[in-house]
Structure 1
């Protein structure tokens, strides 16, 4: 039952991640409060899964991955290549998606980061003139809102986890027992 309770915590993170993406895209800022809220949702979800399974492996792996990402991205912040909010958000993502979701998150992050780079470098691919001007302004400033692909990848990874849990629950008859 605790495993089922961990999914709504992850589902609550989806609108927060969408807000992070939008605010980062429009203002190039990521709020510490939202990052802390995402951290709390991720830790709560991991804690529920750890108590249910009796294994702390997933939580330990997620914490280690978060620390590793913070250490890896910190020099890029020091060189002014990424923002501090991006570094903090990236460090929280392994805790939010869990150790099992890191592969999906990483693959989606690569896809969305390349897509964002293509849009920033080639704004003529976009249909709206005002949007094109805005992206060109971002390119001149040298600022790329990296929170957008991070958030999109996390939403995708969480969506895969929720879908996978739904499939397992429906095939094992758990959903029939809840009705």
Structure 2
């Protein structure tokens, strides 16, 4: 394994605890901070640049940039209509840089599944066991808030783990 690929995989691995922190913070406060999103963006761009230099092709970087711009343009009106939070829009716009263009399809499928599960949990909290978590979810339902950063982060973490394992097994 080349040093460029190793550092690129390290950047992706460092994104996992950051995504977990974003998910937890969004769940607790319904806010995603700009410094965390910016750090995640820097890790993603750094990883993509290292992969692009090693491969000699900027295709993955270009695909990620197009996907990120497209996501931002599509989701921005939802923020303007107050259907989605600004942090969620920014997080979705940078996720293609973090996972890379090759993981976008897998990420999309996982995001759909995790978003449906989150919506079901928020919408039907009585299905959860008794306790503080159920009460908190009922509170979110009453407020009409869904912490969408949680399914985004979980889908991204699972995609990064898949990309990391594929890369490690391909270069062993």
- Normalising by the smaller structure, the TM-score range is over 0.9
Q: Quote the residue 1:14 is aligned against.
A: 16
Deviations 1:4-54 (A, max 9, x none): 220000000000000000000010000000000000000000000000000
Q: Quote the residue 1:113 is aligned against.
A: 115
Compute the TM-score of the two structures, normalised by the length of structure 2. 0.97
**In the aligned structure 1, how far is the partner of 2:52 from the partner of 2:63?**
12
Cα RMSD (Å): 0.8
Equivalent residue for 1:75, pick from 64, 74, 77? 77
Aligned residue runs from structure 1 range 61-72, under 5 A: 61-72=63-74
Q: Quote the residue 1:52 is aligned against.
A: 54
CA-CA distance at 1:169 after TM superposition: 2.2
Q: Which runs of 5+ in 1 are unaligned?
A: 171-179
Q: Quote the residue 1:135 is aligned against.
A: 137
SS at match of 2:171: helix
Identify the range of structure 1 (34-43 vs 120-129) with the bigger mean alpha-carbon deviation: 120-129
After the TM superposition, list the runs of 4 or more consecutive aligned residues in structure 1 that deviate by more than 3 angstroms: none
Aligned residue runs from structure 1 range 26-45, under 5 A: 26-45=28-47
Deviations 1:114-150 (A, max 9, x none): 0000100111121132211111110111110000000
Count of matched residue pairs: 170
Q: Which runs of 5+ in 2 are unaligned?
A: none
